[in-house]
Every structure is written in C-alpha cells, then in structure tokens.
A and B are shown apart, each in its own frame.
Chain A
C-alpha cells in the first residue's frame, strides 16, 4: 500500500510556562493522503494550530514535541533546521488567517512574489515577474498586471488572501496547511476563496490541512474530518459521517450549539461549562465535566480513539449510535 503523504503518530506537544506545563497536543495520530482535504475542527485553544506548528518545526523555545510525523517518507520531528527549511515553503506551505501580518506592508506584491521565486526556484528577474503574473492569474486576481505593483494595503482582504495563496503555491507544494484561511473574510468572499482552494486541490492535486472552528467551512471543503478537544482527537471520519451522524458527545454538542440557516429555527442547546485549561491534570475523558452521558468510568479511564463500526472512530466509552445522532 502506498504510504500517505503525511502520517502523524502519537504526536504530543508541551509548553513549559511559569504557571505549569501546558499539554497542547496529546497523543494525536492521523494521516493525510495525496490530494485529500482533511478538516481539523475544534474550539479556540484546543490545539489545532499547535499540531501543525509542531509538525513544521515552528514551535517557540518553550515547546517540546514527541512522536512522529512522516511527510514524503521523512520524519519531520527532530529533523534538523536545514532539512526543515528545504521542506517549508516548498513541499509544505502555509496560508494563515491574516494575510496582513504575513505580507510585508511596504513592499509591492511583485517584489515579494519575485523575491520568493528567485530564492526558492532560482528564476531570474524577468522569469520571476512573468511567473508572478501567472500565479496571480492562477488565483483569479482580476487585472493581475496592475495589482503586481500595488502594496498590500491597496488590496481588499479577499484579494490579499488570494495573494497569500499565490505565494504559498509558488513552489508546487504537496501539502497546504490552511489555518483559518477564511475566518477574517466576509461571507461572500469566503465562498470564493474556499472554491479557489478546492480548485487547486482538484487541478494540482495539492492536499490541504484545513484548520477551522467553523463546521460550515469543513462541510464545504473537506473529505475527512478530525475533531479536537483539549489536545485530543475525539472523533474522526468522513465529513458525512462526522457531521451527519456524530458519535462523540462533544461533536454532537458542537453541531447542536451552532445556528444553521439550513435547519428549522429552534432553540439552541449549548454545551454547559467551558473547555478545560491546558494546565489541568489529565485523568480519564477530558470532556467528562461537560458531558451528559458521563459515568464513573469516564472520569477514571482515558477513552482511546477506536473504530466500533466502519471507519468512523471516536474516543468515548459511551458513543452515540447512528439513530441517536443529529435528527435534522
């Protein structure tokens, strides 16, 4: 069998802080195949971003990782900086929520794009400019020639995000890590950008790790989903499985707390309480204090991620069965 593009095994990330150790990512295992979109959903602080920061070797000095992350056959955890540098920005590229912080404010789009192309692909000035123009066209920036000589602040938010995407695909990545790529955009523009990402996956076979707190975004773009709670994967399956018949009480709770235009208007059922602090001691199921199905065993025994039927996996001692899933 062909090895997946990215194969993460037992990844654990800790941060040492003055007020204790934060366990940000806890025994996480998953894989992403070529050309696949994997949605990574969870609330703020659940560990979504740190999973990929750990994989790409971008943790701050107070972070420590263990486990394995094999990308294109190489384990990136513990790889040396020069090897990581060769991979980052090329086979492995990022798109972040806020393009303004990733783009240099006082340099034109052309100068930022061509520098990257000369550095990473060794193009000369003329070729780099031609390629920059092609890339802006590729991400459907209208009137690309004129935009090349503009500064980031002269572009709309949606346009800046397209420029970021152009930069991130400039070296033919195999995996694009998109961390909340449309969260800062207006809804009409969000849909345009999601469709652009889908097109890149389809036409160029780029796999995408789509990090988001928004079930709607996942529902539109991902093939498969993992749900993160307090640093653990609590559920994994195809997008249809996870969103239409959630088996983990947290997944179901999230879906029931979200107002959805396509469901009849009815009362929301909020999940009581708040997500735990990363410093909290770990024993049993981290969701137990908020879970209506919790029993004694939940507070004592850590629920492993397992598949009971089919390929949908959940980390829960008392999963919800199909008929109890979301009714609407």
Chain B
C-alpha cells in the first residue's frame, strides 16, 4: 500500500520520487533537438507483496518507467529507492548485486528469447550469471522446479522457442524472471500479445506466484479489465503525468479524475445489453503530441469539464481521505480541508 507519511524512509519495497525521463529527438543536423518528456515527477510506492497496476494509453510513459526501474533508461530527475538504496546512484557493481531482486517479463514472448537456446538453458541463463555458486546438478534442479511452477511440463526442456506457442513462450519468459527468486517483478504488457484463453492462464499464474512467493508486482497494461484483475493499487498516467492513484476498488467505484472516468467508461463489456443501453464515446480527440504537450493540465484539450484555469496551471496531486490522489483542479474542489469548512461555517 502507498502510505506516504509513516513509510517515508522505510527500508522496505520500492519508493519512487519525482521520476522524470526525457528523450532528445533529433530534428536534423543544424537544429536543436526536441525534448520529449516521457515521464514527469511521478511518485509511487510498492510495499512487499503488493501489486501496483499502471494504466494509460500508448505513449503515456509506461514502458519508460519499466526501463528506468531496471536502469535500462537514465533519468532526467528523481530517484528510485529499492529497500533503502537509490538505484540511480549505485555503482555498476552494487547494482549487479541487487539486480536479481528486480526482474522483468516482456511483452513479446518470442522476440525476447534467444532462438538458438533450448528452454532449459534459457531458464538456467540467469542462474549462470548471478548464481555462480551453484553446481550443474543444483542448477538443473532449480530449472525443473521453476518449470513446474509456471506449468511447463519437463518434456519442454529441450524445445527451442519456435516450437512453443505464444502462451508457452510467455511461461518461459516468466520462468526466467522468477528463477532467481526476485522480490519485485515488472510486467510490461506481459499478457497483451496472448490470446484470451491463454491470457487467462498466464494471469492466473502470475497471481498465484505473487501470493506464493510474496512478490511485489508492477503490472503495466493498457487493458483496464486485466489491471483490475491483478492489482491491489492502480496509477493512471496521461502524457507522462500521474493523474490519479487509488486502491483498486476505490478507483473503479469512484474515479475522480476526468481522464480516469473516460478510460473506464471506454472499456467495452461482453454484455451486449450494457453496450446497447449505454453511451456514446465519453471523450473525443486523440492524445496530443508529447513533444508539444498542452499547457497547464495535459488533459485540458480533451476534458469535458475543463475551465479557464486548466489551460494555465498544472493541477497538483492532492491526497483524499480514502487514500486516493488526484491531479485535477475541478475534482479536487470536492476536497475541502475540514479547517476551512469550519471557518466558513463560522462566518
């Protein structure tokens, strides 16, 4: 759970403050490169054993975040603190030591596996790098055990990636990620490429592993129904900004940010009666270019309740009593500090 005040400075889990990632986009030899701010001042926490879902449309900065956590992407600001240590300030050597703690499952299961390696060797590879103390026999034992965990029968050990279905390949990807017994598993669109029936198998597996191994999970997806199924808490990104954070049920029952509302009401249901009775699109337009994002609130160009202030001033992320955090001028008016109410009442 994100619990800012008491857990501030805690040595547990992941604590991210002001995470910012900026890309430089070349515009040709004689022009100054454009700046694309893929993430701006994002704060988040993941406590041990919790899962945090990250949603947002394409280009909102989700993958940039995942890469930053693995140091595959340098920051333009902010810090990423894992169990008390800022990984952005670590030496290579120190980072290598804690690297087994944080593992990632990639989107494209086949593309992320070396085509010339057999399944057992693919799963053993992280052990060879990070667990040099293990002998061949022990390694083999761990590999077979891990295969069992992800539901791959032993006869798959000698197969090559092209002999696997998408779901089987993704199980190999998960096996590689959990073989070192990580504490934090990052899944970036890890089930998006899978068919519905196989996606359900992998989702069920991830949830079960999370419970069995006490993993923290950062689960990134553009699919809200999938995120709802996996996550305890959820953050919503828009154009690199965190616009809303809330525990799962609060987010879906009482979304406060207009973008979160639009996202939720754009999700289609397999119940045609719901589709018939309800709604035209909640918002029009497309996501603006992140190279030239709108002034003030990044959502104002599409927001149905935008006001004059929204074009000028970026709304602050404010905390609600139920644990939600919202960055919206209008929604946050519902959040009147009790002292102010009393003062007004007395006048």
Q: Does A262 lie within 8 Å of B271, measured CB to CB?
A: yes
Residues of B within 8 A of A159 (CB): 286
CB distance from B87 to the nearest CB of A (A): 31
How far does the alpha carbon of A243 sit from the alpha carbon of B243 in the complex, in Å? 35
Q: Which residues of B contact A191 (CB under 8 A)?
A: 266, 268, 281-282
Q: Does A187 contact B (CB under 8 A)?
A: yes
Shortest beta-carbon distance, B228 to chain A, in Å? 6
CA distance A108 to B195 in the complex (A): 36
Is B275 an interface residue when CB atoms closer than 8 A count as contact?
A: yes
Q: Does B225 contact A (CB under 8 A)?
A: yes
**Given A259-B203, A274-B165: A244 and B197 interface contact (C-beta under 8 Å):** no
Interface string of B34-60 (1 = CB under 8 A from A): 000000000000000000000001100
Contact of B321 with A by CB under 8 A: no
Chain B window 259-302, contacts with chain A (Cβ cutoff 8 Å), 1 for yes, 0 for no? 00011101111111111000011111111000000000000000
Cβ contact within 8 Å between B229 and A265? yes
A127 contacts partner chain B, Cβ-Cβ < 8 Å: no
A192-B281, A269-B200 given; A261·B222 CB < 8 A: no
The closest CB in chain A to the CB of B267 belongs to: A261
Determine whether A325 belongs to the interface, using a CB cutoff of 8 Å to chain B.
Answer: no
Contact B229 A268 (CB under 8 A): yes
Contacts of A261 in B (CB 8 A): 224-225, 228, 252, 264, 267, 269
Query: Does A258 reach chain B (CB closer than 8 Å)?
Result: yes
A188:B270 contact, CB within 8 angstroms: no
A44–B166 CB distance below 8 A: yes
Q: Binary interface profile of A, 172-207, with partner B (CB < 8 Å = 1, else 0)?
A: 000000000000001111111001000000000000
B226: Cβ under 8 A from any A Cβ: yes
Interface size on B, residues (CB 8 A): 44
A50 at the interface (CB under 8 A from B): no
B270 with A187: CB separation less than 8 A: no
A215 at the interface (CB under 8 A from B): yes
Q: Does B107 contact A (CB under 8 A)?
A: no
Q: Mark A246-277, 1 if CB is under 8 A from B, else 0.
A: 00000001110111111101011111101100
* Given A261-B264, A262-B271: A186 in contact with B196 (beta carbons within 8 A): no
Q: Is B204 an interface residue (CB 8 A)?
A: yes
Q: Mark A83-102, 1 if CB is under 8 A from B, else 0.
A: 00000000000000000000
Known: A261-B252, A265-B228. A244 touches B269 (CB 8 A): no
Smallest CB–CB gap between B241 and chain A, Å? 16
Q: Cβ of B229 and Cβ of A262 under 8 Å apart?
A: no
**Contact call A192/B252, Cβ cutoff below 8 A:** no
Assess whether A216 is in contact with B228, with CB atoms less than 8 Å apart: no
Q: What is the bound-complex CA distance between A269 and B204, given in angstroms? A: 9
User: Can you list, as one digit per residue, whether each of A126-159 has a CB less than 8 Å from chain B (1) or not (0)?
Assistant: 0000000000000000100000000000001111
A261-B264, A262-B271 known; A186-B58 Cβ under 8 A: yes
Known A44-B195, A243-B272, A261-B252: A189·B204 in contact at CB below 8 Å: no
Asked whether A260 lies within 8 Å of B270 as measured between CB atoms, the reply is yes
**Is A220 part of the contact surface with B, judged by Cβ < 8 Å?**
yes
Q: Is there an interface contact between B284 and A192, defined as CB atoms closer than 8 Å?
A: yes
B199 located at the interface, meaning its Cβ lies under 8 Å from any Cβ of chain A in the complex: yes
The reply to whether the CB of B201 lies closer than 8 angstroms to some CB of chain A is yes
- The listed residue (A189, A240, A260, A263) touching B286 by CB distance below 8 A is A189
Contact A240 B273 (CB under 8 A): yes
Q: Does B198 sit at the interface, judged by CB under 8 A? A: yes
Structural contact, A186 and B287, CB atoms closer than 8 A: yes
Q: Is B103 an interface residue (CB 8 A)?
A: no
| B167 located at the interface, meaning its Cβ lies under 8 Å from any Cβ of chain A in the complex | yes
Decide if B168 is an interface residue (CB 8 Å cutoff).
yes
Residues of A close to B264: CB separation below 8 A: 261
A residues 198-253 touching B (CB-CB < 8 Å): 213-220, 239-240, 243-244, 253
Contact check: which of B57, B203, B223 meets A188 at CB < 8 Å? B57
- In the bound complex, residues from chain A placing their C-beta under 8 Å from that of B166 are 44
Contact present for B269 and A254 (CB under 8 Å): no
The 6 A-B pairs of least Cβ separation, nearest first, read: A216-B268, A257-B200, A270-B200, A186-B57, A215-B270, A156-B286
Instruction: Known A-B contacts: A263-B271, A269-B200. Give 20 more (CB < 8 A).
Output: A44-B195, A156-B286, A186-B57, A186-B287, A187-B267, A188-B262, A188-B263, A188-B281, A190-B266, A195-B280, A214-B268, A220-B268, A244-B271, A257-B200, A258-B270, A259-B223, A259-B225, A259-B229, A270-B201, A272-B201
Enumerate chain B interface residues (CB-CB to A < 8 A): 57-58, 165-168, 195-201, 203-204, 222-226, 228-229, 252, 262-264, 266-275, 280-287
Task: Enumerate 12 A-B pairs (CB-CB under 8 Å) in ascending A order.
Answer: A157-B58, A191-B281, A216-B275, A257-B199, A257-B200, A259-B200, A260-B269, A261-B264, A268-B203, A270-B197, A274-B167, A275-B197
